[in-house]
């Protein structure tokens, strides 16, 4: 009897190898990108990096630092994953106790991460021309999409929006990935929605657009929803919400979505953080 | 070899560590083999579908957290169709956590989850009783007794009553649950609490108030577990801020037979695995043959009689 039970357990454990990892990773660097954002690189094993997809996130156990004693983990989208170099990158803005504590990490320090978690961006086989529209920290979430687009031979246009040119980020990264870059800023008045709409309409009329991607801006989401409906272009958006477990157990991180004419509550950590563009609700 | 097994109302658990309802689901099986746990306790379900509370549903306070999830539920049909079959792949006992806003609804659900594959039912009597004044059943001994008596009639499975810390009558409520037919007590649920953002002056939770859990709840839950173990003859399952093997020892010594780990899993999803391993090592080092030898061994001497008065005036 015992023998039978043991073998059953063994079969089950083998059938389900861990797909999510909880690991202490070592900091390679943690450096400011500009006055507001910090880039964190962690040394990570390739089996973990190979599971990562653009749009997914890690749940970070930010260490206590001085006055800051963050208790819950902090979800953070993957900015870059590089199996060859063995590095996992994050891009964050210091806004509270968690990110402040994170910003104090030095090379060689250890950080406990849980992930990769959630559902990443989808690129359908017939989506040849991709357009991403990013603003602020939304850029961190969308950047690895450029990597996936390049790996899969898709054309990507990145419309990057910011307050001014000196806080525009990741332009080199997008260029390196072969993306076409269009920058708009508040400073020169090009970031207003009317102008962004004109730019996108030109792209639609030109080489055509098969899918939209966005994150981080309510106005961008609303604009892309309208254009998506008008031109029948599908799309996806990554969303945020306060989380506790990050795994789907606690149901803290729900948001409302439009599905088949009804409002449904979905978990950002589990059914997301990437959702269908038209089902997402502006906040 | 130390013996970690315990007995809860005729149910043998291989070790005394199990998840607290709402902090565990099938999702955790993606991280480790959940067969290592003493029991599997599912998230509380209601009979019908429920959306739960407005967001934000969570916020952190010094070294702990507040939540107001509001028991979102896919209903009993989904539970029987999907949840129960998932856990049938495991030998670990399955404990179904249920809730209802009226005694009748509660008892009907209790009957409905009495199925093959469910080994015990945890009745979350900390939920509001809308037939009276909306206060939780387990706030008062009378409503605790009344609901437990009906739940007892609805099932032959072991009934675990999950008590609330939002009562001034811990011992009386515990006795009422026992008299009403509870086979074990889970002590306890979260403590009603609040947090306000001083900048916006808005409550940090969408539902204004919510339940405190995590390390700051531990001394309160421990005090209640101690009181309940003194007041009744049924097993007590300690729950509240347990994060280390030392916390487990503390609850066992206070009189608990087993423990539930909740919020700690949010911080370290493999917390229960670590706790079980540490507990085993600890017993080996201390040369304690069985974890059962620790239960209720608190050296409280002559002060036992003071328990009742302490609740009135600490």
- Reduced to 3 DSSP states, what percent helix, strand and coil does chain B have, rounded to the nearest 5? 40, 20, 40
A194 domain-assigned: yes
pLDDT at residue number B138: 95
- Answer with the residue of higher pLDDT: B198 or A9: B198
Residues of A in contact with B50 (CB under 8 A): none
A70 domain-assigned: yes
Indicate which of A61, A252, A265 best probes the interface with B, i.e. most B CBs within 10 Å of its own CB: A252
Show which residues of B are catalytic. 127
B206 domain-assigned: no
Under an 8 A CB cutoff, do B31 and A5 touch?
no
B57 domain-assigned: no
**Residues A111, A191 share a domain:** no
B59 domain-assigned: no
Residues of B in contact with A8 (CB under 8 A): 91
Under an 8 A CB cutoff, do A5 and B91 touch?
yes
Of B257, B207, B263, B228, nearest to B65 by C-alpha is B263
Residue A203 lies in domain: 129-238
Q: What angle do CA B32, B34, B37 make, to 5 degrees?
A: 125
Under an 8 A CB cutoff, do B72 and A243 touch?
no
**Residues A145, A75 share a domain:** no
**Residues A133, A113 share a domain:** no
**Residues A150, A228 share a domain:** yes
Domain termination site, one of A69, A84, A117: A117
Domain termination site, one of A220, A238, A256: A238
B244 domain-assigned: yes
Instruction: Please give, rounded to a whole number of angstroms, the shortest distance from the CA of B57 to a CA of chain A.
Output: 5
Size of interface A-B (CB pairs under 8 A): 111
B241 domain-assigned: yes
Under an 8 A CB cutoff, do B31 and A22 touch?
yes
Residues A262-277 have pLDDT tens digits of 999 999 999 999 999 9
| Minimal Cβ distance to A71: which of B43, B57, B60 | B60
Under an 8 A CB cutoff, do B269 and A247 touch?
yes
> The CATH number of the domain where A87 resides is what?
2.40.30.10
Q: What is the number of structural domains in chain B?
A: 1
**Residues A149, A72 share a domain:** no
**Residues A112, A157 share a domain:** no
Under an 8 A CB cutoff, do B57 and A253 touch?
yes
Q: Given a cut of 70, is residue A15 above it in pLDDT?
A: no
pLDDT confidence tier of residue A4, bands split at 50, 70 and 90: very low
A283 domain-assigned: no
pLDDT confidence tier of residue A11, bands split at 50, 70 and 90: very low
- Answer with the residue of higher pLDDT: A1 or A205: A205
A252 domain-assigned: no
B1 domain-assigned: no
**Residues A136, A50 share a domain:** no
Residues of chain B contacting A, Cβ within 8 Å:
22-25, 27-33, 35, 43, 51-52, 55-65, 67, 69, 72, 89-91, 214, 265-270
| Minimal Cβ distance to B69: which of A112, A250, A270 | A250
Under an 8 A CB cutoff, do B22 and A250 touch?
yes
**Residues A233, A150 share a domain:** yes
**Residues A230, A144 share a domain:** yes
**Residues A233, A136 share a domain:** yes
B210 domain-assigned: no
A97 domain-assigned: yes
A278 domain-assigned: no
Closest A-chain CA to B22: A250
Residues A33-52 have pLDDT tens digits of 888 899 999 999 999 999 99
Q: Given a cut of 60, is residue A225 above it in pLDDT?
A: yes
A244 domain-assigned: no
Indicate which of B26, B267, B272 best probes the interface with A, i.e. most A CBs within 10 Å of its own CB: B267
| Minimal Cβ distance to B67: which of A8, A252, A270 | A252
**Residues A87, A137 share a domain:** no
Residues A184-221 have pLDDT tens digits of 999 999 999 999 999 999 999 999 999 999 998 899 99
Q: What is the number of structural domains in chain A?
A: 2
**Residues A227, A137 share a domain:** yes
Residue B167 lies in domain: 6-52+71-190+216-312
A75 domain-assigned: yes
- Answer with the residue of higher pLDDT: A146 or A171: A146
B306 domain-assigned: yes
**Segments in chain B below pLDDT 70:** 302-314
Q: For the whole prediction, is pTM greater than 0.90?
A: yes
SS3 per residue for B198-263: CCCCCECCCCCEEEEECHHHHHHHHHHHHHHHHHCCCCEEEECCCCCHHHHHHHHHHCCCEEEECH
pLDDT at residue number B313: 55
Residues of B in contact with A272 (CB under 8 A): none
Is the alpha carbon torsion for A172, A173, A176, A182 positive or negative? negative
Residue B191, beta-bridge partner list: B212
> The CATH number of the domain where A153 resides is what?
3.40.50.80
> The CATH number of the domain where B82 resides is what?
3.20.20.70
């Amino acid at each position: 009897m015992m023998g039978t039970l043991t073998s059953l357990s063994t079969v089950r454990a083998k059938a389900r190898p861990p797909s999510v990892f909880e690991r202490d990773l070592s900091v390679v660097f943690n450096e400011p990108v500009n006055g507001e954002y910090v880039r964190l690189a962690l040394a990570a094993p390739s089996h973990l990096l190979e599971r990562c997809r653009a749009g997914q996130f890690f749940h970070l156990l930010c260490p206590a630092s001085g006055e800051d004693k963050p208790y819950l983990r902090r979800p953070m989208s993957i900015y870059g994953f590089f199996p060859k170099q063995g590095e996992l990158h994050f891009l964050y803005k210091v806004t509270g106790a968690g990110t402040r504590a994170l910003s104090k990490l030095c090379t060689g320090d250890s950080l406990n991460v849980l992930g990769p978690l959630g559902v990443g961006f989808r690129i359908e086989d017939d989506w040849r021309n991709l357009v991403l529209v990013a603003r602020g920290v939304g850029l961190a979430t969308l950047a690895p999409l450029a990597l996936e687009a390049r790996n899969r031979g898709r054309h990507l246009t990145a419309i990057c929006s910011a307050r001014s040119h000196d806080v525009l980020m990741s332009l080199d990264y997008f260029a390196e990935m072969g993306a076409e870059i269009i920058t708009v800023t508040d400073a020169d008045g090009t970031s207003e929605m009317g102008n962004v709409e004109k730019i996108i309409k030109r792209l639609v009329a030109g080489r055509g657009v098969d899918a939209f991607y966005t994150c981080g801006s309510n106005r961008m989401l609303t604009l892309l929803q309208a254009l998506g409906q008008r031109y029948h272009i599908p799309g996806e958006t990554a969303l945020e919400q306060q989380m506790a477990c990050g795994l789907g157990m606690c149901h803290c991180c729900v948001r409302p979505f439009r599905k088949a004419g009804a409002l449904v509550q979905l978990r950002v950590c589990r059914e997301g953080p990437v959702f269908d563009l038209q089902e997402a609700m502006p906040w | 070899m130390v013996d970690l097994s315990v007995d809860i109302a005729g149910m043998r658990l291989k070790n005394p560590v199990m998840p607290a309802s709402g902090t565990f689901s099938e999702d955790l099986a993606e991280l480790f083999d959940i067969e290592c746990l003493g029991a599997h306790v599912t998230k509380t379900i209601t009979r019908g579908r429920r959306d739960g509370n407005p967001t934000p549903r969570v916020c952190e306070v010094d070294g702990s957290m507040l939540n107001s999830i509001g028991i979102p539920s896919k209903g009993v049909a989904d539970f029987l169709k999907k949840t129960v079959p998932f856990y049938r792949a495991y030998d670990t006992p399955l404990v179904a956590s249920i809730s209802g806003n009226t005694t009748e609804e509660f008892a009907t659900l209790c009957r409905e989850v009495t199925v093959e594959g469910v080994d015990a039912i945890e009745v979350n009597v900390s939920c509001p009783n809308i037939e009276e004044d909306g206060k939780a059943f387990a706030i008062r001994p009378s409503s605790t007794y009344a609901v437990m008596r009906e739940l007892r009639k609805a099932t032959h499975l072991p009934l675990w009553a999950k008590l609330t810390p939002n009562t001034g009558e811990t011992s009386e409520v515990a006795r009422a649950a026992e008299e009403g037919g509870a086979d074990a007590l889970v002590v306890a649920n979260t403590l009603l609490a609040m947090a306000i953002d001083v900048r916006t002056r808005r409550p940090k939770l969408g539902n204004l108030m919510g339940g405190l859990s995590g390390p700051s709840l531990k001394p309160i839950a421990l005090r209640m577990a101690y009181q309940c173990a003194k007041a009744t003859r049924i097993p007590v399952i300690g729950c509240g801020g347990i994060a280390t093997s030392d916390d487990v020892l503390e609850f066992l010594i206070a009189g608990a037979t087993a423990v539930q780990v909740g919020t700690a899993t949010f911080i370290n999803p493999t917390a229960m695995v670590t706790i079980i391993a540490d507990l085993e090592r600890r017993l080996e080092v201390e040369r304690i043959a069985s974890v059962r030898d620790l239960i209720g061994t608190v050296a409280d001497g002559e002060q036992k009689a003071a328990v009742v008065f302490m609740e009135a005036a600490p």
